[in-house]
Amino acid sequence: MRSGRDPCAFSRMDLFTRKKVQPTEPILIPHGELTFLTKQEILMAHKIFSELQDRENGPYSSRVSMEKIHTLPELKSNPFRKRICHVFSTSDMKDGSLSFEDFLDLLSAFSDSATLEIKSHYAFRIFDFDDDGTLDARDLEKLVNSLTGETDDTRLTGEEMRQLISNILEESDIDKDGTVNLSEFQHVISRSPDFVSSFKIVL
Amino acid sequence: MELKEFNNQVHPTPDYPSPYSSQHSLRLRTVPAQDTSAVQCDWASPPEDAEDSNEPQNLRELPLHMSLKRAVWQVQQMKVPVVSSSWNIKQSKTFHRFCEVAKYILSYFVLWKRGIQRIGGHFGGGVQSYFLFLRFLVILNFLSCLLIAAFVLIPSIVFRSMSFNSTITLTVNLTDIETCLQYDPKPDPLMVFFTYFLDLVSGTGFMEYSYLFYGYYNNSVIESNGFSYNIPLAYLLTAAFYFLFCLICMIIRMGGTARLVIVTGGGAVGGYSMLVFTGWDHGLQGDRATKLKQNNLRHRLQVDLEEERLKKKAASLTLGQTVSLYALRVFLNLVVLILIGATLYGIAEATQFSQSRKTTGFVGLLLQYLPSMVITASNFVVPLLCDKISLLEKYSPSTTVILALLRAVFLRLVSLGVLLYTLWEQITCKGEINSENCTPCNYYHDQYKCWETRVGQEMYKLTLFDFLITIATLILVEFPRRIVVDHCSCKLTQWVGRQEFLVAPNVLALVYSQTVVWTGALFCPLLPFINTIKFIFFYYCKKITLFQNCQPATRNFRSTTSNLFFLLVLLFGWMLSSVVLLYSVAKINPSYGCGPFRFYTAMWEVVPGAVEMLSSTNKEFLFYIGSQKFSIPLFIFSCVLLCYVSALTSVHGKSVALLKSQCKLEQRDKQFLVRQIEELNATMQKLQHEPQQPQRETEPFYHAATQWNQHNNYAFDPHEDPKPY
């Protein structure tokens, strides 16, 4: 539907008016209505995205690879950066590469004004390491390891991990099927006052 | 059949559609462009709103990829809008846009927004909450000094400079109290620089007779050209409104925090899952901050798990062990109380000593600052000792931290209280107005010719000393420590390590400063202004030391519960200072020689006098409000409101529990239905099992699905090949 479009076209058009450049050119949508970002933030995102594209070899490719995205200072040390790229990527090759619109989706979900529902939805997908729609014990174990550090001396011991995972499932698994699904996750998140302010990336 | 497959098949939409499959389905669905209802139903979106005004919000809130959102938007644009409510829609759209623009503009005016964001990114939420608290206090002090300046300071300056004739009615017999009127603080115009500096720092000399202190203000009532301004009344009412204003600000700020704490149940329930799901702060930048956060989280998890293990162990202690543990705790609490008592006695003695001596020069300055020095030293030493003692008490780690904080708070505020009590004792001769020293004037006239100014000076000195000590600690302790730790690699320095930015003691220091300001505001009207400048300095100095010298603490309070705790402590400080205000306004005789309340028997007397001069309807109205006829119904009404709100809370709690059990029941129903379908499937397969006819394995399922409860479901055409959606 919109693959292969030159993202540099954005810089030639006003993002906020529907302007038909050529008869065959698709109509541009006001991104301001489809994301939680302000105009300034979208323009800043476009600037940063173009810089990332410039560093890639070859002509303007419409996607930026995951490694390039990981060079951004906001994501460089985030232990969930790989999962974040995979969740927001619409690439056919499932390599985590992001187009500009995926990048906007990412920033919108992590922005100041995004709602709790959006943030909890994407947080759930980020934590779902095996993409099966629920958080089972393996997902939780990988999640805890990401939180505490991946090296051997920073992980919890096996005993502690078992105790922790059984406590988590006892607290949040309401229907007792051994996994945490989206609504149970959102139920836990809704009681946390810190979540909205901590699930934030500002460029 | 596995439950997961069942989930994916029975619900028409997966939880999050992958872009590939949905794009195919989108092509199929957008062919009839007018039929948009199918498009809108098929995404797992929040409750659908038919009104077009909510469209932008709805689209943003869909957890879909941009391409899908754009497709929905395009489809919605093609939809013919409902004619009747188009004006309403336009109005609400413009209103929404106006709100967004207003929010964007207002965000420019937020003080230090970028700096505090950067602090939060590098050091986490706990340290950020300290700076947010500091910003709140700066704004509070600034607004209050505007209030005081507008109603007290500027009129005084104007009237003094224009030397209006003031009309005061003296109804007091002046002959008995001639000695009380002696007060001559006019400074010596020829001053040595050293004396100048001493006076600046201790509030005496040229500083004493200035707008800084109570003694300079006149008890003038200006009336000219139909304009009348009663300075004493303005002074008193401004002080009262200042206190009310601070109380309202604190309550508003506490309201939001308290609501969150109650909703989340104080964080006790769901602690582990909350920590794991919401613990990561995505705003952190840099490897160092990430590693520290990871250490922090691991530490918290390990501590919580250990606490749980300890609790299980403690529940299994024998009787003898429990008794000995409690005896130890009681003994250690006694030790702590004795320690605090000794400190308070020391403060009282130091205050008396410094008030009774009158030496000049540098020794005199030291003597004047003696109470402040004792208070600061005790506030530094005693919490350290309490920390060491609490290690012996074998509480769980979180209880230990809370207990240590409570003891530190108690010590700080009570030491201030002791200082004030000692001053009161001296000024009013221990409350006996008829004793020898206090006879003609009802206060100790020889030493305290203008006692309000003296109290104001004490508060001024406390504020200044606090400021000096903080700056001195920064320069003389933290910077050298960092230099030593960075350049000297012996084991001792590595063990001591860099300075940790401990949030709780810093916040308590802020609460203490603010309480001092509140206590002194009646006697030293410019104190909020001085405090604003002091706190602004604090912000920049603490920020510099944070980034240059400190590492984040490994153990942190949860930021929101501690926010509420700090506001509660601030409220407690406010109550202490309001007690001081009420007592000095109502009971103690104002000085005869200075200030706007001379010749009144109490400061409060100004108000009845002013009320007498009002017109009769206003007077009656005010009397009615103050009478029992009004206040008792008001009290009853607020009790009723309180009961209603608490009933609402309990009802909501019950409905939450009900919904939770409903959730469990639904899951059991689902499992029951899955089992039924499996059995049905097996039965069907057995009945229709014939080797010649090639039957799809899934057909019996479709057949069963179409024949659900004897109704035919025509969405499924059983003779059509099932498409690979």
Q: Could you tell me which of A104, A8, A90 has the C-alpha nearest to residue A54? A: A8
The β-bridge partners of B224 are B227
Interface list for A 42-71 with B (CB within 8 A) = none
Identity at B382, one-letter amino acid code? V
Residue B570 pLDDT: 92
Residue B246 pLDDT: 93
Q: Do A147 and B294 touch (CB under 8 A)?
A: yes
Place of tokens 């929905």: B72
Q: Do B63 and A185 touch (CB under 8 A)?
A: no
Q: Do B294 and A123 touch (CB under 8 A)?
A: no
Q: Do A201 and B282 touch (CB under 8 A)?
A: yes
Residues of chain A with Cβ-Cβ distance to B260 below 8 Å are 193
Tokens of B449: 């010719």
Q: Do A76 and B277 touch (CB under 8 A)?
A: no
Place of tokens 């005993």: A159
Residues of chain B with Cβ-Cβ distance to A197 below 8 Å are 125
Put simply, whether A125 touches B (Cβ < 8 Å) is: yes
The vertex-B22 CA angle with A2 and B55, nearest 5°, equals 75
Q: Could you tell me which of B544, B538, B388 has the C-alpha nearest to residue B478? A: B544
Decide if pLDDT at B560 tops 50: no
Say whether pTM exceeds 0.80: no
Interval B677-696: pLDDT, tens: 888 999 999 988 865 555 44
Q: Do A90 and B74 touch (CB under 8 A)?
A: no
Angstrom distance (rounded) from CA B464 to CA B384: 24
Q: What is residue B409's DSSP assignment?
A: H
Other CB atoms within 10 Å distance of the CB of residue A163: 18
Decide if pLDDT at B105 tops 70: yes
pLDDT band of residue B554 (cuts 50, 70, 90) is low
**Residues in chain B, overall count:** 725
Put simply, whether A156 touches B (Cβ < 8 Å) is: yes
pLDDT band of residue B244 (cuts 50, 70, 90) is very high
Tokens of B443: 């206060």
Mean pLDDT of the region B399-427: 83
pLDDT band of residue B57 (cuts 50, 70, 90) is low
Extract the runs of DSSP E, i.e. beta strands, from B162-261: 221-224, 227-230
Q: Do B301 and A197 touch (CB under 8 A)?
A: no
CB B79 within 8 A of CB B34: yes
Put simply, whether A159 touches B (Cβ < 8 Å) is: no
In angstroms, the separation between the Cα of residue B26 and the nearest Cα of chain A is 11
Residues of chain A with Cβ-Cβ distance to B286 below 8 Å are 73, 76-77
Lowest mean pLDDT, pick from A144-148, B172-176, B675-679? B172-176
pLDDT band of residue B712 (cuts 50, 70, 90) is very low
Of A79, A90, A202, the CB nearest to B19: A90
Q: Do B60 and A80 touch (CB under 8 A)?
A: no
Residues of chain B with Cβ-Cβ distance to A174 below 8 Å are 660, 663-664, 667
Put simply, whether A175 touches B (Cβ < 8 Å) is: yes
The string of DSSP codes covering B29-46 is HSSSTT--HHHHHHS--S
In angstroms, the separation between the Cα of residue A61 and the nearest Cα of chain B is 18
Please state, rounded to an integer, the average pLDDT across all residues of chain B.
Answer: 76
| ipTM attached to this prediction | 0.83
Provide the CB-side half-sphere exposure for B157 (13 A, CA): 9
The torsion region of residue A26 among left (phi > 0), alpha (psi -120 to 50) and beta comes to beta
Residue B191 pLDDT: 67
Of B69, B281, B295, the CB nearest to A34: B69
Other CB atoms within 10 Å distance of the CB of residue B691: 6
Angstrom distance (rounded) from CA B146 to CA B529: 8
Cβ contacts below 8 Å, chain A against chain B, sum to 190
